[in-house]
Structure 1
Amino acid sequence: MYIKNSERLKFRLMDSKDAQELWEIDQDPTVMKFLNGGNPTSIEQVNSVFIPRMNKYRNSELGWGIWQVSNKVTDEYLGWVLIRPMSFFTESPNTKDLELGWRFFQSTWGKGYATEAAIAIRDAVVANTDVTHVSALAVADNLASVGVMKKMGMHFVRAYLHEDPIGDFDAVHYQMSVRNK
């Protein structure tokens, strides 16, 4: 799948050769604050946990995976947006409800890049599919991510304990219906 450039951004589906880029963004404790309390990710964790997880849901034809987001003029790497079926790491992943997630370098915060990228990726991936909903999860205190969810048109669904093989967390779940063209 190809995702066309948005107003300011361009996109590339990342793969196992992108360990260095995935590692770089996780070195800022402020970026990691709501993910694990602010601890940088080691390159070993990227290679042994993050890349294998990404490879399980990555599907280039459907557009599932982690999309690198770059400035389309300068080519600067700004961050990434993840898209995969909700509940992917359970016995019953929901391919009609896609989960969006994002991580951006702190220097890019407050400029609307996460919202612009998430909307572009969402629109491209759900076009011409039978996807009915798009969701996002965050810890409740992550007001910036909740703000992105709201700007995208998502609405609060529930607060709950999100269980994941690499760590459970108290989550807020936002969701929106999508209408296919």
Structure 2
Amino acid sequence: MTDLNTDRLLLRRWRASDLEPWAAMNADPEVREHLGDVLTRERSDASVARFRADFDRRGYGWWAVEVRATGEFIGFAGLDEVDDGLPFTGVEIGWRLARAAWGHGYATEAARAVLAFGFETLALPEILAVTTAGNLRSQAVMRRLGMTTDPADDFDDPDAPEGPLRRNVLFRLAAPRQG
């Protein structure tokens, strides 16, 4: 597995020491506001097991993100195949950070490293991003990354209950042209 480095961050394989802060993030209603219910410790730990298995199988997925200067785990960023049942296919980028890490530019910094990996190493022709219509913070990161959206691509998530998590926005970024 490839680690990704930025000026301030290390995107790396998950460690046992990440499980507790990851569970705390997943139990935080503000972190989960646009994702659904908070997760139990068991469900949180199971998600890390899936992340590890996906990385082993595909060679990419969700990296644990830590601050290089302190070694502090602050969340995740990475790439995943779009879920079945959505009105599009491809590979999507995503991130989730602990509240204490919000507002420092970490999501944008980590996402830029992930985009570079997706385009340069995986040779993806396009990378997608999806969030709820109300998640303006993530949409701002997507715009900073150069991603664009078309209201015609907005969709209702078939797995989300009626309410604020149902309507989603799709952002796209094509691979940079060579030469």
TM-score per shorter chain, which class?
0.7 to 0.9
Identity of aligned residues (%): 26
Alignment of 1:64-83 (within 5 A): 64-83=60-79
Deviates more, 1:147-156 or 1:39-48: 39-48
Aligned partner of 2:80 in structure 1 is 84
* Gap regions ≥5 residues in structure 2: none
- Structure 1 residue aligned with 2:100, among 104, 107, 116? 107
State the Cα deviation string for residues 53-96 of structure 1 (Å, max 9, x = none): 5356x134854221111111111111111311223x459994xx
What's the counterpart of residue 152 of structure 1?
145
1:24-43 to structure 2, matched below 5 A, reads 24-36=24-36, 39-43=37-41
For residues 117 and 180 of structure 1, what CA distance do their matches in structure 2 show?
22
Question: TM-score normalized by structure 2?
Answer: 0.81
Quick check: 1:63–1:125 contact (8 Å CA) kept in 2? no
Superposed, which structure 2 residues align to 1:1-181 within 5 Å? 1-14=1-14, 19-36=19-36, 39-48=37-46, 50-51=47-48, 53-54=50-51, 58-60=54-56, 63-87=59-83, 89-90=84-85, 94=89, 97-157=90-150, 158-164=153-159, 167=160, 169-179=166-176
Where does structure 1 lack aligned partners over 5 or more consecutive residues?
A: none
More strand by share: 1
Per-residue CA deviations over 1:88-146 (Å, capped at 9, x if unaligned) read x459994xx32011110111111110010011122123314331011111111110000
CA distance in 2 between counterparts of 1:60 and 1:92 reads: 27
Q: Give the RMSD, CA atoms, in angstroms.
A: 2.8
Query: Residues 63 and 24 from structure 1, CA distance in 2 versus in 1: closer, same or farther, beyond 3 angstroms?
Result: farther
TM-score if structure 1 supplies the norm length?
A: 0.80
* AA at the equivalent of 2:66: S
CA distance in 1, matches of 2:111, 2:101: 14
